[in-house]
Amino acid sequence: MKVRVLPRAKEEVKRMADYANTRWNRRVGRNVLRNFRKNMALLAHQPWLGCLEPLLSDRAKAYRSLVIHKHCKVVYFVDEEADTLVIADVWDTRCEPKNLMQNL
């Protein structure tokens, strides 16, 4: 299955890596990116691994989420016709839940 990362999700991953670079060091920033890529590869092979996202249950698409770090989860949906997993957002779980609902 192909993986497509939407611009919003790319921005969030970059923001998290940049924060890790400045807060700690570049090694930690690289680990953020490596962890993201590793989990995207996992989802490409097992797209139903994440659970249905309860905050987005009222949407037409069946959004799923996978926690990839204690403060971070990937929100995605599967486009079966295109055989593509679409990463819609990467969300800091410490943020207000309604922010996720507004972003998607």
pLDDT tens profile 32-54: 899 999 999 999 999 999 999 98
The structure tokens listed for 29 are 């920033």
Nearest to 72 by CA among 87, 88, 89: 89
pLDDT of residue 38: 95
Cβ contact 17:32 at 8 Å: yes
Q: What is the dihedral of CA 49, 54, 11, 29, to 10 degrees?
A: -60
For 51-87, how does the pLDDT look when each residue is reduced to its tens digit (9 = 90+)? 999 888 899 999 999 998 888 899 999 999 999 999 9
> Model-level pTM?
0.87
Region 2-103: CATH code: 3.30.2310.20
Cβ contact 43:50 at 8 Å: yes
Q: Please state the φ and ψ torsions of residue 49, each to the nearest 5 degrees.
A: -65, -40
Q: Assign 104 a pLDDT band (cuts: 50, 70, 90).
A: low
Per the listing, tokens 């819609």 go with 88
Q: In this model, does residue 26 exceed pLDDT 70?
A: yes
Q: In this model, does residue 99 exceed pLDDT 80?
A: no
DSSP, collapsed to helix, strand or coil, labels residue 90 as strand
Helices then strands (H, E): number in the chain?
3, 5
pLDDT of residue 94: 78
* 70 or 103, greater pLDDT: 70
